[in-house]
Amino acid sequence: MEKQRHTAKSVMELFRQLPEGERAEFLKMLGEAQDGNEDLETMLTEKRFSGGRVCPICGGVHVQRNGRRANGSQKFVCKDCGKTFSIRKNTIFSGTHKSASVWKEFLRCMSEGLSLDKTAERCGITHATAFVWRHKVLDAIGDALKDTELTGIVEADEAFLPVSYKGDRKAFDGGGCGRKPRKRGGCNHKRGLSDELVCLPCAVDRKGKAIGRVAKLGKCSAAAVKAVLGGHVSAKATLCTDGEASYRKFSKGNGNGLVQIKGGKGTVKGIYHIQHLNAYHSRLKTFLASFRGVSTKYLNNYLTWNNVMGAARSLAEKTSALMDIAVSALFSETSLAIPKRSPLPILVEKQSKTKL
């Protein structure tokens, strides 16, 4: 019997015949087959040396190849500072010794929003490594988005989330956080906008760009809005908010037009509303809930993560957006330093006050 020769068209026909679950599996295998050809070193070299070779230590441009390490990776020497380095130096991949396919799988897990346990299992790494990798990538995202500018109609409003000391046992042991540990999903001890809530001013524009950060404890203020939105909203933008005075002050200082929507509901002139922002808040809360609570000290990282995920449409697009950010990022913090980060400054302030 003559062997059938397949064409792209005939394979596509076969693909259509696959049951739905098998299709996803096939696409995953296809992605992996492509990854195999794309070595992490090649990706890093192309990205980092896109404008010619540059030293990651001193920024000098007199960089030469200088043999290979025992594991085969290319070494470089900088004629300006005399240091030798590999292409992974000062990137989030330095010291991880894992192949591109493990990292790509890891980023795919992040795109799917998988837990650290599931991610560790799927990638064949430890929970601790998955934790450190996640925060390296999140830091890189934060860095990549730090110059975000919102334009056009910009919807702004704050969200409130309960303060969480998840993973910070010392904060409880020392009594420093000023209250007993709250059980997961439990309500706050105090009613209203108490200082057990963190205030996160957020803004989105109609192109899908978003910003948001932890500003303070308790109710919003003009200073909090300025601290988060300042430098990120184009002076030509029109700010769309509810009746809150903090945003009125901000728009005045920033030179923006302002449309206030009473009670945050309804539409003015057919285009001004804050529905995109309300959707952003609810997406953010669903995203955070999927991790069963996020420690407040890491909240900013999760906010930027949610922003990248919200801007990408498909899983493949999300993964490649993350890979692009990961490969471009410069990162010099050691893996050991990440879990030792201190709580946010606002929390430190609160803790020292409670101790007095």
Percentage helix, strand, coil, to 5, in the chain? 45, 15, 40
Cα 310 to Cα 314: distance, rounded to the nearest angstrom:
10
Q: Does 58 bind Zn ion (CB under 5 A)?
A: yes
CB of 79 vs Zn ion, minimal distance in Å: 8
Spatial CB neighbours of 180, under 8 Å, sequence gap ≥ 6: 172
Shortest Cβ distance from residue 64 to Zn ion (Å)? 11
Nearest CB to Zn ion, comparing residues 59 and 95: 59
Kindly state the number of chain residues that form the binding site for Zn ion, as judged by CB under 5 A. 7
Smallest distance from the beta carbon of 331 to Zn ion, in angstroms?
A: 17
Smaller CB separation from Zn ion, 27 or 81: 81
- Give the SS3 label for residue 223: helix
81 sits near Zn ion (criterion: CB under 5 A): yes
Least Å from the CB of residue 226 to Zn ion: 39
Decide whether 79 or 97 has the Cβ nearer to Zn ion. 79
From residue 61 to residue 80, the character string flagging contacts with Zn ion as x (rule: CB under 5 A) and all else as - is -----------------x-x
By CB under 5 A, name the one of 57, 77, 161, 258 that touches Zn ion. Answer: 57
Cβ burial of 213 (10 Å; 0-12, 13-18, 19+) is buried
Q: DSSP 3-state assignment of 187? A: coil
Report CA-CA distances (Å) from 309 to 105, 116, 201, 265, 339. 16, 17, 19, 26, 24
Single residue of 55, 210, 211, 288 touching Zn ion by CB under 5 A: 55
Among the listed residues 26, 31, 53, 60, the single contact to Zn ion using CB under 5 A: 60
Closer of 29 and 58 to Zn ion (Cβ): 58
User: 104, 316 in Cβ contact below 8 A?
Assistant: no
Shortest spacing between CB 55 and Zn ion, in angstroms: 3
- Cβ-based nearer residue to Zn ion, 48 or 104: 48
Q: What residue has token string 């330095």? A: 94
Measure the N-to-C terminal CA separation of the chain; round to a whole number of Å: 88
Cα(46)–Cα(120) distance, integer angstroms:
29
Let me know: does 240 contact 153? Beta carbons within 8 Å.
Answer: yes
Q: How far is the CB of 80 from Zn ion (least distance, A)?
A: 5
Residue (61 or 268) nearer to Zn ion, CB? 61
> Residues interacting with Zn ion, by CB under 5 A?
55, 57-58, 60, 78, 80-81
